[in-house]
Amino acid sequence: MSAHSSELAVAAPADAPGVDAGTDEGADEELRAELRAVSRDLLAAAAGKDDAQVDWALLAEAGWLGLEVPDGLDGAGVTVAETAVVCEELGRAAARAPYLGTAVLGAGALLALDPGDDRDELLRALATGAPRFAVALPTGDAPLGAAGVPGAVPFRLARSGGAVRLTGRAEFVPDAAEAETLLLLALDEGDEPVVVRAAPGQPGVEVTATPVLDVSRSLGTVAAVDAPVEAGSVWRFRGDGRAGGRLLLARGALAVACDSLGAAEAMLAATVEYASVRHQFGRPIGSFQAVKHGCADMLVSVSVGRGLVTEATRALAAASAVHVADGADGVDDAAMSAVEVAVSRAKSYMCAAAVDVAGKAMQLHGGIGYTWESGVHRYLKRAALSRALFGSPTAHRARLARHLDADGAGGAR
């Protein structure tokens, strides 16, 4: 049961306390704290608005889009751990911004590719906020099945009449409708996962918006039918394409878990605030055990969720760094499994907990909580969407259970 026992602490050095004397973990924590504080201020403005729309230019100016873009390409050159902070703050504000499509998945996909001028140029542009990106990959339960990633790759390249053509369909793609540049996860003729660059207007490619109850999110369907593809638009992952695809899916799941963490913390804070000022029966309602203990339960699950999200972030950051640095040799299957285990735990726990916390917030706000104006519903809808996006808790737990069964088979210790 190595992936689930104390071995993990060795595999992921950051888990062990007091061991960072020689690392820059402390500095990173400070950077993240500052990033968090700035984000919170900036997004607080958006939180007040009914549509919670965040000014895209502002995000670009703040440097949040290029966090992971290398220094040399005008980015900040930091890791997914910093991106995670922004995701959490976007969730806290229930803000509407195409951050997932561009900064999380777009940058993540490009960074996982073999470097090259086209890619580098696109990364540089990404950091400026133009174009906006969408990455068409499977966002449901499919890739969590026993079959793994390739079976769930939504697009396929085939040569016909001398041209390479793309066919496939991906639903519930984050930020698809507003994207100017599409990156499509596809299988090439050798069944190797690759990324295909496309534009929404391009022949054979159709993008349609999918309206959802959570108006703070934008989702859409990307469909391609025999769309001709230029050779220069087909990009290979560094090293093993399968590993690249798996890391990308892990990023999506983790980003959504971070979002749910922020949302849950916001709901807890709002409930505590309300329970402290709202009086009934001559007392603040927070002085009643029913309310107080309800808030305590919210804090417990937020605390547990935060721990899981933190561990998953560390694991993914470490693996991503290895992937970018070493390519194929870097992230072996065991390391990838460790990342996926951590991400599945964080995603399944936190995204389910956030729905519960938002629901409890609605309950403890009483009639006010059920009004549109309270905004609690925005968090409930957002948490419900996050729960399903990039794999339901059930699907993630099914994947975890397969690991447990396999590990159990491995030996008694």
Partner 1 sequence: MNATLADLAELRATIRDWCRAHVPADWRRAQTGVGDDEFVAFQQAWFQELRRAGYAVPHWPAEWGGGMSAAEQMVLYQELAAADAPRLVLAFVSIHHAAATLLTAGTDEQRRRHLPGILDGEIWVQGFSEPEAGSDLASLRTTARRESRAGGDVFVVNGQKLWASGAAHADWCLLLARSDPAAPKRRGISYLLMDMRSPGLDVRPIRNALGDSHFCEIFLNDVEIPAENLVGPENSGWQVAQATLAAERGMTMLELAERLGNVGLRSLVETCRRPDAAGHRPIDDTLVADRLAGFDTEIAGLRALCRDLVERHDAGTVGDASQAPPAMRRSQDRTAFGDAGQAPPAMRRSQDRTAFGDASQAPPAVRRSQDRTAFGGADASVVKVYYSELLQRMTGFGAEIAGLAAQTELSKPASSGWESGRWLLDFIGSWEWTIPGGTNEIQRTIIGERGLGLPREP
Residues that bind its own copies (CB under 8 A): 288-290, 293
Nearer to its own copies, 49 or 293 (CB): 293
Number of C-beta neighbours around residue 83 at 10 A:
27
Instruction: Say which entry of partner 1, its own copies, none residue 17 contacts (CB below 5 to 8 A, set by partner kind).
Output: partner 1
| Closest separation in Å from C-beta 291 to its own copies | 9
Nearest to 128 by CA among 37, 59, 191: 59
CB of 105 or CB of 342, closer to partner 1: 342
Please identify, using beta-carbon distances, which residue of 296 and 368 lies nearer to its own copies: 296
Longest dimension (CA), the chain: 80
Min dist. Cβ of residue 286 to its own copies (A): 12
DSSP letter at 20? G
Chosen from partner 1, its own copies, none, partner binding at 6 (C-beta under 5 to 8 Å by type): partner 1
Within 8 A by CB and 6+ apart from 181, the residues are 106, 122, 131, 132, 133, 134, 197, 198, 199
Contacted by 406, from partner 1, its own copies, none: CB < 5 to 8 Å by type: none
Give me the sign of the Cα torsion angle 360, 294, 271, 41.
negative
Cβ of residue 296: shortest distance to its own copies, in angstroms? 10
Hey, what are 363's tokens?
């309950």
Q: Min. distance of Cβ 307 from partner 1 in angstroms?
A: 3
Q: Which is nearer to its own copies, 271 or 344 (CB)?
A: 271
Q: Which does 228 bind (CB under 5 to 8 A by kind): partner 1, its own copies, none?
A: none
Integer CA distances (angstroms), 81 to 40, 187, 204, 302, in order: 16, 29, 37, 19
Query: Residue 4's binding partner, choosing from partner 1, its own copies, none, with beta-carbon cut-off 5 to 8 A by kind?
Result: partner 1
- Report in angstroms how near the CB of residue 322 gets to its own copies at its nearest: 43
The item of its own copies, partner 1, none sharing an interface with residue 165, based on CB under 5 to 8 Å by kind, is none
Which of 76, 92, 112 shows the shortest CA–CA distance to 37? 92
**Are 253 and 84 in contact, with CB atoms under 8 Å apart?**
no
Taking Cα atoms as reference points, which of 377, 338, 307 lies closest to residue 52?
377
For the CB of residue 244, give the shortest distance to partner 1 in the complex, in Å. 24
Give the nearer residue to its own copies in terms of CB position, either 21 or 290: 290
DSSP 67: T
